[in-house]
Structure 1
Amino acid sequence: MTELHDLDATAQAALLRRREVSAVELIQHHLDRIDAHAEALGAFITVTGDPALERAAEADRKLADGDTAPFLGVPTAFKDLTSTAGVRTTMGSVVMQDNVPEIDAYVVELVQRAGFISLGKTNTPEFGLSSYTDNDLVGSARTPWDVTRNAGGSSGGAAAAVAARLVPVAEASDGGGSIRIPASCCGVVGFKPSRGRVSAGPLGSDWSGLAGDGAITRTVRDAAAMLDAMAHPMPGDLRPLPDPDTAFTAWAAREPRRLHIARWSTPYLPGIEASESSVAAWEAASRLLESLGHEVVDVDNPFPAELEPQFNVVWSSAMAAAPVPEEAITTLRPNTRYWLLRGREASGVDLARAIQFLEATTRDVVTSMREYDVWLTPTLALPPQPSEWFTESGDPTEDHRRELLFTPFTAVYNMAGVPAASLPLGWTDDPTLPVGVMLAGRPGEDGPLFSLLAQVEGAAPWADRAPPGPWSA
C-alpha cells in the first residue's frame, strides 16, 4: 500500500481534489513524520505545526467550495534564509536567532498562493555560505542515506526533508550550487532556474546576479510545478524574465527534440579531479542520453580558472554587507568570519571589476557554446562527506579549499545565469550513496530543459528509491 508521504506533491494534490484525504489529515501525517525524524536528520530549524494545521482546516473549507489553487493543502517548507512574516528567520546564525520578519519574501507569497502549506523553516549553514549545512543553532543536516555524512549545502535541510519524505517539495535557494549540491547528496531533484526567473523581492536583491530561488523535489514534474508557482516577476525586479508563454509543467510533459549535448568531467580549477563515482554516473548518463537519440559530444571545460578569485570577491562582499552588528562578529562561526573579513578587504572598485569580469567572461562562454543545447557534467566531484571533513583543521582557508575539492562544477552556472538541475542518476556501492549528474540549458530556456529532464526520468526513474532507515517505513 502506498503511504501518503510516498506520493509526490502532484499526486497529493490530486488526492485532495478527489477528497480521498483531507488537508488536515495530510498535514498532520507529515508533521508526525517531522516529529519522528527531523531531529535525527537536522532537517528543520523551526517547525510551524499549529499554524499549518489552521491553514489545513482553511484549505479543506476552500476545497469544499471549489477553490482551484493547484496545490491547495499540500505541505512544503521554506529555507531559513527566506523571509517569512511572523515566523523566525535565523539565516542559520545565532546572531539572527530571534529575527522575526514582518514581511514575506515574494516567493513565499507565490508558493502559498498556489495552495502549499508551510510546515516550517529548513536548516541552512550560517548565512548560507557553505556547501555543507552546519550551524550553532541545531547542528548539521545529514543525508538520510547515511546520517554520518552531511546533506550538503546550503539547502541541506530542504534536501534532507524531501529525501526522507518529511515534505514532498521544499523551496530552496542557490548562489553557487546550494540547490544542486544537497540534491546530489540526498538523492533528489534540484532545479536552479535561469537568472531573473524568480523574483528576489520585495526586500531581497539580485545585485550580484548569482543567487536565486528554486526547489528541491523528488520528481521532475514537481520541480516544474514549483517553478510555475514561483516564476512571476515583481515590479522593480532588477533582471526580470517575463511570465512564460508555456507552463513548465507543460514543457515537462513534452517530448524533447533531438538535442546537441556538450559534456565534460574536468573541473575548471586546476588540481581538482572528479571521483570515480562521479565520473561513472556521468558516463552512465551520457550513454542514457545517447540511447534516447541525443548527440553527446566531448568538449574541454569552457570556463576559465580566472573566474574563481573574482567570484570570491563578489561572494565575500555579500557577506561583508550582511546585517551583523560589530559586537556580534566574534560569535560568528570561523568560516563566516573568514568571508566577512575577506569581503571587507575588497574595495568598491574591486567589486565592480569582479562583477564585470564574471559577466563578460561567462557571456563569452555562453556565446562560444551556442551550438550546444545542453551541457552535461557531474554535479559534485566527491560523494557526500562528513561535516568534520570540512571543519576538522580549524582553519577556514582549508575549509574553503576542501569545499572546492567537493563542488568544483556548480558555481560557474550561477555566474553564467543558466538553468541547471541535478538528477539522482548514480549510486555508490558499500555504502549506497546517491551521486548526482548535472544538466544545464541555455539562458532563459528552463522549459526545454524540463522536457529533457522528464525524458531522462522516464527512462531511468528514481522516485521510488527510498533511503534506508526509520524514515523509509
Structure 2
Amino acid sequence: MSAPHELTMLEQAAAVRRGEISPVELTTHYLERIERIDPALGAYLTVTPERALAAARDAERLLLAGGEPPPLLGVPVPVKDLTPVAGVRFTSGSAVFADRVAQQDAHLVTLLRDAGTVLTGKTNTPEFGLPAYTEGRVGPPARTPYDLTRGAGGSSGGAAAAVAAGLAAAAHGSDGGGSIRIPASCCGVVGLKPSRGRVSPAPWGDVSGLAVNGPIARTVRDAAALLDVLSVPAPGDPFPLPVPERTFLRWCDHEPRRLRIARWARPDVAGVTVHPEVLAAYERTSALLEGLGHEVVDVPQPLAPGDRDAFTPVWSVLAALTPVPSDREGELLPLTRWLRAQGQGVGGLDYARALGAMQAAGRTLARAVHPYDAVLTPTLAQLPARVGALRDDADPEADFAAQLAFTPFTAPWNIAGLPAVSLPLQWSAGGLPIGMMLAGRHGAEGPLLALAAQLEAVAPCRDHSPPARPCAPGGLGAQTRVSWGAGVGASGAGHSGQHI
C-alpha cells in the first residue's frame, strides 16, 4: 500500500473502514510528519497530539462496535485558526491572542467531529485573516512546499500548505476575498469557496456576507466530500441554502453535457497586469475545456474599474470589529492597525451605502455569469510570491495595493456570493503551481464540481507530496519524488527547489 499520506482523504477513510490501517496508526503517521516537516513549512500554529490520539482511539472503539461508521472516521482534518475549537488555543493569527483558549466550538467543528475526523491542530493564518499572505508574529510564515522561499498565500495559507505537504488529509479553510483559493493556487491543491449560505457560520455571522467556510483538498472528490460534511445548516442562518438532494460527491461522477463557458483574463483593477506564464496556463486550460467538447466564449470583463471600491471600507470595518484591549492595539501588525483605523472612521450610513454599492457590483457580476454554465479565469495574476514580497510594514497602503494586484480575480466572487474553485491544473516552467479558477451561479456547486472533476481527470496532478516534476498539461507526467532535504533549516530561506 502507498504511504498513508499519499492516499486521498476518501482513500484513507476507505482504508480505515476496511481495517487496512487503524485510526491511531494514521494519526501517528501524520503527527510524525508534522513534527519533522512543519518547522520549515509553517503550516500549523498549534498541534494537538494528545487530543488527536484520544480521538483516534475513540474511532477505533467505534469501528470495533460495528455498524455504519461516520463517513470520514479516523481521517486527520485540521481547522484554520480563525475558527474556535473548545479547549484549544485560538490565536486568530495575532500575537495579542497568542495565549487565548476557545470556550466553545463553531458549528462546523461539531460537523467535522460528527463526521469522524481527527483534529491534528489549528492551521496558520495571518492576523485576523486580513492579508493575502500568511506572515505574522504568532508563528513563522506559511510557505508553499514547492519552493520554500515563496509564501503559501493567505489567509488559509497554513491549511493549503498542510494539505500540499502531506501534513493533513484535507483541511478546513475560510474565504472572505480569496482566502481559500489564493493559497490553493500557491500550493497546488483544490480550494473551493462555496456559495453564500452554503456553510453555516453559526453561532456567529458576518453581516457583510463576504466570508464563507469551505474545503481545501488534494482532489476535487475530496473537496466535494468535505463540503458534504460542512454544508449542514443551523437554525437562524442568515442566508440558508437547503441541503441538496444529490450529494456533492455524487456530482463528481456526473458527466457534464456540452457546456457554454465564459472566460476573461483582464482584471477589473486598473494598472494590474497578468504574468505571461499565468496567461499561457489560462490558454492551455481553455484548450483543455474545448478538448472536452465545451464551448469557450471570450467575454468582456463585466466589472469596470471602481465598481468594487466599496469592498475596501467593508473589509476595514470587518478588521475593526475584532475587540482588542486598548493597551494592546500597538502590538497589532501595521496593516491591521491601518485597516482598523479606516474601519473605525466609517459611520453607520457610510457602511450601509458601502454594502449597497458592493451588492450592486455583485449583481453586475451575477448578471454577466447567468447566461453561462461556468466562468474561467486565472486564480491569481502572478506566480506564488516570495515570502515578504507583498508585505510592507512601513507602508500598509502599499501593502494592500500589492495584495490587490496579486489577487484581482478572487474578491468579486465573494462580493456576489457565487461559488468558485481553484484547481491545480497548470505549472510554471520552474515547477510552481498555477491555479485556474472556475466559478458558477449561486447554489450551483454541484455542476461546478462535476466540471472540475472532468477537468481534473484529463490533467491529473494529485500527488499528495509536491513532485520534483509536476504533471504535464493534459496528462500524467513522470512523478519523481524527492525526499525532504536534510539540511533545511527552520526558516527555509535560500532553499528554492527543496521538495517534500
TM-score (norm 1): 0.98
Instruction: State whether residues 191 and 216 of structure 2, in contact with CA within 8 Å, keep that contact through their aligned partners in structure 1.
Output: yes
Which position in structure 1 is the counterpart of 2:463? Answer: 464
Which position in structure 1 is the counterpart of 2:440? Answer: 441
Q: State the 1:465 CA deviation.
A: 6.8
Aligned length: 471
> Does 2:141 correspond to 1:115?
no
Instruction: State whether residues 169 and 217 of structure 2, in contact with CA within 8 Å, keep that contact through their aligned partners in structure 1.
Output: yes
Q: Equivalents in 2 of 1:464, 1:332: separation in Å? A: 38
Q: State the 1:312 CA deviation.
A: 0.4
Q: State the 1:388 CA deviation.
A: 1.7
Instruction: State whether residues 334 and 393 of structure 2, in contact with CA within 8 Å, keep that contact through their aligned partners in structure 1.
Output: no
Amino acid across the alignment from 1:49: P
1:142-163 residue CA offsets vs partner (Å, 9 max, x unmatched): 0000000100000000000000
SS where residue 158 of structure 1 aligns? helix
Which position in structure 2 is the counterpart of 1:5? Answer: 5
Q: State the 1:392 CA deviation.
A: 4.7
Q: Which has the higher helix share?
A: 1
Alignment of 1:406-445 (within 5 A): 406-430=406-430, 432-445=431-444
Amino acid across the alignment from 1:348: G
Amino acid across the alignment from 2:461: W
Which position in structure 1 is the counterpart of 2:305? Answer: 305
Which position in structure 1 is the counterpart of 2:449? Answer: 450
Which position in structure 1 is the counterpart of 2:72? Answer: 71
Amino acid across the alignment from 1:416: A
Instruction: State whether residues 303 and 362 of structure 1, in contact with CA within 8 Å, keep that contact through their aligned partners in structure 2.
Output: no
Amino acid across the alignment from 1:144: P
Which position in structure 2 is the counterpart of 1:220? Answer: 220
1:116-153 residue CA offsets vs partner (Å, 9 max, x unmatched): 11100000000000000011011210000000010000
SS where residue 266 of structure 2 aligns? coil
Which position in structure 1 is the counterpart of 2:328? Answer: 328
> Share of identical aligned residues, percent?
51
Which position in structure 2 is the counterpart of 1:27? Answer: 27
Which position in structure 2 is the counterpart of 1:366? Answer: 366
Judging changes above 3 Å, is the alpha-carbon distance between structure 1 residues 465 and 8 closer, same or farther for their aligned structure 2 residues? closer
Which position in structure 2 is the counterpart of 1:162? Answer: 163
Which position in structure 1 is the counterpart of 2:283? Answer: 283
Which position in structure 2 is the counterpart of 1:191? Answer: 192
Instruction: State whether residues 27 and 75 of structure 2, in contact with CA within 8 Å, keep that contact through their aligned partners in structure 1.
Output: yes
> Does 2:376 correspond to 1:376?
yes
Q: Equivalents in 2 of 1:303, 1:162: separation in Å? A: 33
Q: Equivalents in 1 of 2:141, 2:308: separation in Å? A: 27
Alignment of 1:19-418 (within 5 A): 19-66=19-66, 67-202=68-203, 204-392=204-392, 394-418=394-418
Q: Equivalents in 2 of 1:171, 1:333: separation in Å? A: 25
Q: State the 1:107 CA deviation.
A: 0.7
Instruction: State whether residues 173 and 180 of structure 2, in contact with CA within 8 Å, keep that contact through their aligned partners in structure 1.
Output: yes
Which 4+ stretches in 1 moved above 6 angstroms? none
Amino acid across the alignment from 2:84: S
Q: Equivalents in 1 of 2:231, 2:366: separation in Å? A: 23
Judging changes above 3 Å, is the alpha-carbon distance between structure 1 residues 138 and 369 closer, same or farther for their aligned structure 2 residues? closer
Judging changes above 3 Å, is the alpha-carbon distance between structure 1 residues 159 and 368 closer, same or farther for their aligned structure 2 residues? closer
Q: Equivalents in 1 of 2:87, 2:209: separation in Å? A: 28
Q: Equivalents in 2 of 1:58, 1:388: separation in Å? A: 42
Amino acid across the alignment from 2:307: L
1:334-367 residue CA offsets vs partner (Å, 9 max, x unmatched): 0110110011111111110111111122213312
Judging changes above 3 Å, is the alpha-carbon distance between structure 1 residues 275 and 170 closer, same or farther for their aligned structure 2 residues? same
SS where residue 178 of structure 2 aligns? coil
Amino acid across the alignment from 1:134: E
Which position in structure 2 is the counterpart of 1:15? Answer: 15
1:425-470 residue CA offsets vs partner (Å, 9 max, x unmatched): 111123x110000000101101110100100111110102732564
Amino acid across the alignment from 1:409: F
Instruction: State whether residues 206 and 238 of structure 1, in contact with CA within 8 Å, keep that contact through their aligned partners in structure 2.
Output: no
Q: Equivalents in 1 of 2:116, 2:146: separation in Å? A: 30
1:380-426 residue CA offsets vs partner (Å, 9 max, x unmatched): 00111122211256211111111111111000000011110000111
SS where residue 199 of structure 1 aligns? coil
Instruction: State whether residues 75 and 117 of structure 1, in contact with CA within 8 Å, keep that contact through their aligned partners in structure 2.
Output: yes
Q: Equivalents in 1 of 2:449, 2:11: separation in Å? A: 19
Q: State the 1:88 CA deviation.
A: 1.1
Structure 1, unaligned runs of 5 or more:
none
Q: Equivalents in 2 of 1:271, 1:31: separation in Å? A: 45
Instruction: State whether residues 190 and 218 of structure 2, in contact with CA within 8 Å, keep that contact through their aligned partners in structure 1.
Output: yes
Q: Equivalents in 2 of 1:73, 1:388: separation in Å? A: 37
Amino acid across the alignment from 2:80: K
- The RMSD of aligned alpha carbons is 1.2
Q: Equivalents in 1 of 2:116, 2:84: separation in Å? A: 18
Q: Equivalents in 2 of 1:391, 1:261: separation in Å? A: 35
Amino acid across the alignment from 1:187: G
SS where residue 309 of structure 2 aligns? helix
TM-score (norm 2): 0.92
Q: Equivalents in 2 of 1:111, 1:54: separation in Å? A: 16
